[in-house]
Amino acid sequence: MKRTWIVAGIAVIAMVSAAFAARTVGQNRVSAERGRYLVSIMGCHDCHTPFKMGPAGPEPDLARALTGHPEEFALTAPPQLEGSWMTAGAATNTAFYGPWGVSYAANLTPDQNTGLGIWTEDMFVRAIRTGKHMGVSRPIMPPMPWPVFRNASDDDLKSIFAYLRTIPPITNHVPAYQEPQVARSN
């Protein structure tokens, strides 16, 4: 009797395992839909979509979703940071000043000249994993939380990239990063 229960238990485990394997075989775990979801919960719009003034205060300007710092929005000299203040942000929430200089949120749309249009999936994954622009060049500056995002799975990062390829390409020349001494002199 005990042997019958053991055999039955093994059979149930085998059937559940086979059913799970059959359900996942052939499924692509990389999807633009998953990427859209991840972009919506990971705060990408918080910095890469310019803010505008709405009826209840600042809100994302979704007509310029994920286009980065607006090229037409010129910044004045950054404020003097003193006391307990370490950073400051522009009214659009797409430019940030701190001890590192001035950094601008990048254009994440698939525009060929000003966005991620020429990037490959591998370049995108390497950029997030290494904190280097295009995966090989200058450092990605604060406040981009790449040290946290690098912990995402390959499938999640590839899904984000797949989603970013589906949004409309919008031409927007984002200014280049400014080192601290350059930022203070402007």
pLDDT tens figures, 91-127: 999 999 999 999 999 999 999 999 999 999 999 999 9
- Token digits for 30? 């990389």
If you average pLDDT over every residue of the chain, what do you get? 87
Burial 107-127 (b: 16+ CB within 10 A, else e): bbbbbeebbbeebeeebbbbb
Q: Which of 8-17, 62-71, 164-173 has the weakest average pLDDT?
A: 8-17
Between CA 176 and CA 133 the distance in angstroms is 12
User: pLDDT at residue 20 above 50?
Assistant: no
What per-residue confidence (pLDDT) applies to 181?
73
Between CA 60 and CA 181 the distance in angstroms is 31
User: pLDDT at residue 169 above 80?
Assistant: yes
What per-residue confidence (pLDDT) applies to 183?
58
pTM equals 0.81
Listed in order, strand segments (DSSP E) in 40-100 are 51-54, 57-60, 88-89, 95-98
Binned at pLDDT 50, 70 and 90, residue 2 comes out as low
% of the chain beyond a pLDDT of 70: 82
Binned at pLDDT 50, 70 and 90, residue 168 comes out as very high
For the stretch 35-73, pLDDT in tens is 999 999 999 999 999 999 999 999 999 999 999 999 999
The candidate with the shortest Cα–Cα distance to 185, out of 75, 105, 83, is 75
User: pLDDT at residue 28 above 90?
Assistant: no
The residues facing 132 across adjacent strands are 139
What per-residue confidence (pLDDT) applies to 156?
98
